Copies of this chain bind each other. A is one copy, B any other.
Amino acid sequence: MELIDGKKISAEIKEEIALEVKKIKQAGGKTPHLAAILVGHDGGSETYVAHKVKACEFVGFESSLIRYEDDVIEAELLAKIDELNNDVQIDGFIVQLPLPKHISEEKIIEAINPDKDVDGFHPVNVGRMSIGLPSFVSATPAGILQLLKRYNIDISGKHCVVLGRSNIVGRPVSILLSQKADVGNATVTVCHSRTANLKELCLQADIIIAALGVPEFLTGDMVKEGTVVIDVGTTRVKSDKTKSGWKLKGDVKFDEVAEKCSYITPVPGGVGPMTIVSLLKNTLLAAKGEIY
């Protein structure tokens, strides 16, 4: 069993991006600039956005953090998005989700210019990804593909079972894995809460992507020998063993499953660290005008 080290890979990619940014600057080019809109003070969102700002600093990007209180009205956010869409200094920007209930996430996402939508949530980017056209691919699916690629895990023709059909992980990763592409050409089965024979399907899988958000859902009796397991779950559960009182739990019962795997991602330190580098990569692509 080999552990897929997302921390190491993400550090490598950050170094690669930093090097490229350095070259761009040396050649007199514009410094890539990522902006983030953060509404309210949700703990998870605060942490995540803080990581993004720090990562931007590390690779040499400029970054802007635009804050609003929880009671901001939709029109004000839309006006700011319009401003960012038209600001030539900003290469890409994100609106940190979730948003307060009085604001339509759909409306906000659709207001972002697709060519600055480095989160890849705009329908144009989702649609282009699905059709196989150049697009901004959202962070978690892109991160999963990078892990498979950098560990030279061949998925072509293999049976990949995706647990979960969410718009931000299960659905896009299932599409990407089965496309005609370098990291692609897998036979992909999408399972979800309604799947009747889930265990049977998992036992056939060469690769399992667990993205249900149910802690320790995938147990040892559900995987065959030699399976590759990618654990996307990150549920916060109470713990008396950590200083914070919380602990991250994946969708995989690690101890049982790991011993049967050829490769497996840990939680934390697997897929998690990859999401921010995917965002940085998209921002770099936006700055270089490589998608649109």
Point out residues on A near B: beta carbons under 8 Å.
106, 122-128, 130-133, 156-159, 165, 167, 171, 174-175, 178-180, 185, 187-192, 194-198, 201
User: Out of B106, B165, B180, which one reaches A178, CB within 8 Å?
Assistant: B165
Q: Cβ of B187 and Cβ of A191 under 8 Å apart?
A: yes
Q: Cβ of B187 and Cβ of A188 under 8 Å apart?
A: no
**Which residues of chain B are within 8 angstroms of A167 by Cβ–Cβ distance?**
130-132
Q: How far is the CA of A204 from the CA of B126 in the complex (A)?
A: 31
Q: Cβ of B127 and Cβ of A122 under 8 Å apart?
A: yes
**Which residues of chain B are within 8 angstroms of A194 by Cβ–Cβ distance?**
156-157, 185, 187
Do A165 and B189 contact each other (CB < 8 Å), given the known contacts A127-B125, A196-B157? no
Closest 8 A-B residue pairs measured CB to CB?
A127-B127, A123-B127, A126-B127, A189-B189, A185-B194, A187-B195, A157-B196, A157-B194
**Which residues of chain B are within 8 angstroms of A165 by Cβ–Cβ distance?**
178-180
**Which residues of chain B are within 8 angstroms of A124 by Cβ–Cβ distance?**
123-124, 127
5 A-B pairs whose Cβ atoms sit less than 8 Å apart in the complex: A130-B167, A131-B167, A185-B192, A187-B196, A189-B189
**Which residues of chain B are within 8 angstroms of A125 by Cβ–Cβ distance?**
127
Q: Report A183 CB to chain B, min CB distance, Å.
A: 13
Q: Report A206 CB to chain B, min CB distance, Å.
A: 9
**Which residues of chain B are within 8 angstroms of A123 by Cβ–Cβ distance?**
123-124, 126-128, 131, 133
**Which residues of chain B are within 8 angstroms of A185 by Cβ–Cβ distance?**
192, 194
Which residue of chain B has its CB nearest to the CB of A122? B127
Q: How far is the CA of A244 from the CA of B156 in the complex (A)?
A: 42
Do A187 and B192 contact each other (CB < 8 Å), given the known contacts A123-B127, A127-B122? yes
Q: Report A219 CB to chain B, min CB distance, Å.
A: 19
**Which residues of chain B are within 8 angstroms of A156 by Cβ–Cβ distance?**
194
User: Out of B106, B130, B197, which one reaches A126, CB within 8 Å?
Assistant: B130
Do A178 and B192 contact each other (CB < 8 Å), given the known contacts A127-B124, A131-B167? yes
User: Out of B130, B179, B180, B197, which one reaches A127, CB within 8 Å?
Assistant: B130
Q: Report A115 CB to chain B, min CB distance, Å.
A: 13
Q: How far is the CA of A174 from the CA of B165 in the complex (A)?
A: 12
Q: Report A202 CB to chain B, min CB distance, Å.
A: 11
Which residue of chain B has its CB nearest to the CB of A186? B194
User: Out of B157, B179, B197, which one reaches A187, CB within 8 Å?
Assistant: B197
Q: Report A190 CB to chain B, min CB distance, Å.
A: 5
**Which residues of chain B are within 8 angstroms of A188 by Cβ–Cβ distance?**
189-190
Q: How far is the CA of A131 from the CA of B112 in the complex (A)?
A: 16
